[in-house]
Amino acid sequence: MTGDVDDMSLEGAIAPPMANGEILFEAPWQSRVFGMARCLCEQGQYSWDEFRARLIEVVGAADAAAAPGDEYHYFDHFLEALTAVLEDKQLCNATEVNLKTTELSARPHGHDH
Amino acid sequence: MTKPSAQALRAEALESLLTEKGLLSSAQVDEVIATYSEKVGPMNGARLVARAWLEPAFRQQLLADATSIVNDYGFEGGQCEKLVVVENTPEVHNVVVCTLCSCYPWAVLGLPPKWYKEPAYRSRIVREPRQVLNEMGLELTDDVQIRVWDSSAEIRYMVLPMRPADTEVLSQAELETLVTRDSMIGVAQPVGVKG
């Protein structure tokens, strides 16, 4: 397992939020997205390098577009990069994700998930 | 239940789609998260502990300069500034906390457990360690002194628990299975040690 972990380093501009050396998940969905990205990679749907390349692009574009003082939301970018790599691999496209998101948001209030 | 954020919904939508397509299951994602947060990390620490139990020279080295050892092993996350390993003995029991936030020896223990970050543990373990350990299922007799180590950005701590009795015949790999994450935080004993 150590090899797998070594292989998935994300450093420099695309490093996840760390507090004193620890990766920080601020909400459960963030760890789900992280888990999905790793899971599909382990299944061989894409290489971690392919994912990383997408993440670098997304973070780079967000940095370029950010105004001073804007908050940085790493896992938003992580999710976008995952969606992009899934689209590259024709596993899932953004339109489907948008539709499903709309469908889920229409659930009755109080839905417990 | 508060309204999920837009991103939480989008993440849920993605997981739901991928599941429908048969590309993954929620159980697999759970497994990856668990592997990452509970198994991979603590395994690194367990390797160090088991080796220290077997090799007195390594134990000395680990207690003297754990940072170099972690760097030598090349553990992911080894960029943490300084790691100090504190040794449990029949007289002294060590327990680790970060009272300010959640500093944690990520390289050796993986992701911190949820309770480690919670204010209840962070504040109470300093004030009433015996009571808190008791509540977590670790009963120490009154003659055992408890030392609480407060982690910081500069120094992280890991506990070297006591080797369970009657384990002389076990191999390093077998010993590693006795070393739990919690025993290296100091809130539990390794498997086989009477609390």
Residue numbers in A near B30 (CB within 8 A): 35
Q: Whole-angstrom Cα distance, residue B194 to residue B189? A: 7
Q: Whole-angstrom Cα distance, residue B129 to residue B150? A: 12
Per-residue pLDDT, B102: 65
3-state secondary structure (DSSP) of residue B18: helix
Q: What is the pLDDT of residues B155-174, one digit of tens each?
A: 889 999 999 999 999 999 99
ipTM: 0.85
Q: State yes or no: pLDDT of B182 exceeds 60.
A: yes
- pTM metric for this prediction: 0.57
Alpha helix stretches (DSSP H) within A43-90: 48-65, 74-88
Mind telling me how many Å the CA of A53 is from chain B's nearest CA? Answer: 20
Q: Which of A4, A16, A11 is nearest to A47 (CA)?
A: A4
Q: Whole-angstrom Cα distance, residue A74 to residue A81? A: 11
The answer to whether the CB atoms of B44 and A2 lie below 8 A apart is: yes
Place of tokens 């849920």: B12
Per-residue pLDDT, A54: 93
Give one word for A21, left, alpha or beta, with left for phi > 0 and alpha for psi -120 to 50. Answer: left
| Average pLDDT of the residues of chain B | 87
Cα torsion for B111, B112, B114, B120, to the nearest 10°? -170
Q: What is the pLDDT of residues A39-69, one digit of tens each?
A: 999 899 999 889 989 988 998 888 888 888 7
The answer to whether the CB atoms of A20 and B28 lie below 8 A apart is: no
Tell me the domains of chain B and their CATH numbers.
6-185 (3.90.330.10)
Tell me the domains of chain A and their CATH numbers.
9-105 (1.10.472.20)
> Which residues of B are designated catalytic?
98, 101-103
Contacts of B69 (CB under 8 A, 6+ apart): B48, B61, B62
Residue numbers in A near B80 (CB within 8 A): 20-21
Judge contact between B69 and B62, C-beta under 8 A.
yes
